[in-house]
Amino acid sequence: MLIVALLSALLLVALMGCLYFYTLNKRISKACNVHEHQTAKLSIENKGLHSEIEGLHSFINRLQNELTHSNSLLTQEIREQVKTQEELIASTRRADEADLLKSNFLANMSHEIRTPMNGILGFAQLLREEDIDDEKRDRYIDIIYHNGTMLVNLIDDIMDISKIEAGQLAINKANCNLDDLMFELYTFFNEVKFKQEKEHISIRLVDFNEDEVNIVQTDGHRLRQIMSNLLSNALKFTEKGTVEFGYQNNLDQNQIKFYVRDSGIGIPKDKRDIIFDQFRQVHEGSTRKYGGTGIGLFISKHIVGLLGGSIWVESEINVGSTFYFTIPYQHKGLLANNVTLYQSSSKKYDWSNKVILVAEDVELNYKLISSALIGTNASIMWARNGEEAVEMCEKNPSINLVLMDIQMPKMDGYDATKAIKRSKPSMPIIAQTAYAMPNDNIKCMEVGCSDYIAKPLNTNILLEKIEKHML
């Protein structure tokens, strides 16, 4: 009986254990199901969050790109504004400098005119005195003549400046005996030094070409003008020592080199680049020690350029200066009595079978351009306004290049250039304008011009530009 009771108790315990484990298993299974569901839900949420993060990254990248682009545009705009401001400052500085140079020039010109006039009028009044002797009278007349010569030279320089600005300074070439010219200058300036009370200064003429009589085909008047300007400056700025000048035939380089050397005050390094500019001098203002108008070297440089040469200076403070300039020649020949003939040269242009259209409403300007082109063998056509220029380009396929004035009636040069470029995009067009403002060249290029030249025209530069762009 006890055994049966014991077995029954064990069976009951076993059943209760099975029931417990069954209930525990169901709870575990349910918990697993809940975990799997939550894991799946979390995975979906993670995927959504990852997608949102990727979208946020993409948005940030786009925003960064837009900010970079905006920053680039802003930087470029700032640079352009800075450049415009710098150009404005530079333009203002040039205008102020030009105004100062103009004021200095007018003051110098007044001084340079009144000084010889004072001598002329003053000594002319002294001549009216009855008690002066013949020696004084001759000296007074000599002073009046010397001051009159100074005044005439000054007027000639002013006229030459006007011709240069109008592009009408002419060169008339003929045979010129260089030895005779050098001796004339030597004699003349030996007289000048006494009148300037500089008789203690030695003027030397050096002959590098012994036993030769040299004749060059050039403009002797202009050559004398260059040498006179250089010698006058040398004598003016030299207080003691020597003024030396001469020339040398450089056969290897086919050129004749002239020089004027002095033992004067010298030229500072920062002034050597400006002394050939118009109205510029080493010493400027009312406190300057030496006289002059500041146009002699500018005129000399221009004449040397027209003669086909170059001019430069070497100088040292308190030691002296040496000015050099050259004249090229093509060939040489021997004449009678050991006379050497040098044929001066300038660059030749041969535009045979080429047609150039000149768009210019002012007849005088057209005649100047056509005169500059007369030796090039080019055919010249004339359009009196922008509309004519466009029409002639459309009707004449033989035109190789256009010289386009900017300010013209009916249609200006800008619109005419754009119209021509629409039908003939490869047509070379060189703009010419009297405005010559800082941004004019940019505007000309923007409408399609190939090049740009400011008035007054430098004919040598004009021919070089035509050669560069001629089809």
Distance CA 306, CA 157 (A): 16
Mean pLDDT, rounded, for 154-177: 77
Neighbours of 251 (CB within 10 A): 11
> Is pLDDT at 463 greater than 70 in this prediction?
yes
Neighbours of 324 (CB within 10 A): 16
Class of domain 102-165: mainly alpha
Helix, strand, coil shares, percent, the chain, to 5: 55, 20, 25
Distance CA 353, CA 427 (A): 16
Q: Are 166 and 364 in contact (CB under 8 A)?
A: no
The DSSP annotation for 38-94 comes to: HHHHHHHHHHHHHHHHHHHHHHHHHHHHHHHHHHHHHHHHHHHHHHHHHHHHHHHHH
Quote the pLDDT of residue 261: 95
Q: Are 344 and 173 in contact (CB under 8 A)?
A: yes
**What sign has the CA pseudo-torsion 277, 279, 281, 283?**
negative
CATH number of this structure's domain 174-344? 3.30.565.10
Helical H segments across 220-362, by residue range: 220-236, 296-306
pLDDT band at 151; cut points 50, 70, 90 = confident
Q: Are 341 and 215 in contact (CB under 8 A)?
A: yes
CA distances from 225 to 234, 301, 445 (A): 14, 11, 39
Distance CA 261, CA 245 (A): 6
- Range 355-469 has CATH code 3.40.50.2300: yes
Q: In the chain, where are the structural domains located? A: 102-165, 174-344, 355-469
> Is pLDDT at 280 greater than 80 in this prediction?
no
pLDDT band at 17; cut points 50, 70, 90 = low
Distance CA 251, CA 365 (A): 39
296-313, pLDDT tens digit by residue? 888 888 889 888 889 999
Per mean pLDDT, which of 61-75, 380-394, 438-452 is the most reliable?
Answer: 380-394
pLDDT band at 87; cut points 50, 70, 90 = confident
Helical H segments across 128-203, by residue range: 134-165, 178-195
Q: Are 405 and 413 in contact (CB under 8 A)?
A: yes
Percent of the chain with pLDDT over 70: 75
Q: Are 430 and 454 in contact (CB under 8 A)?
A: no
90-102, pLDDT tens digit by residue? 777 766 666 665 6
Nearest 5°: the CA angle 275, 279, 284 is 75
Q: Which residues contact 314 (CB under 8 A, 6 or more apart)?
A: 321, 322, 324
Q: Shortest CA distance to 107 belongs to which of 299, 294, 301, 296?
A: 294
Neighbours of 242 (CB within 10 A): 15
Distance CA 405, CA 299 (A): 27
Output the average pLDDT for the chain: 79
pLDDT band at 51; cut points 50, 70, 90 = confident
Both tokens of 56, joined, read: 């946020």
Per mean pLDDT, which of 137-141, 150-154, 296-300, 426-430 is the most reliable?
Answer: 426-430
Both tokens of 312, joined, read: 């430069």
365-379, pLDDT tens digit by residue? 888 888 888 888 999
First to last CA, the chain: 136
Distance CA 163, CA 32 (A): 109
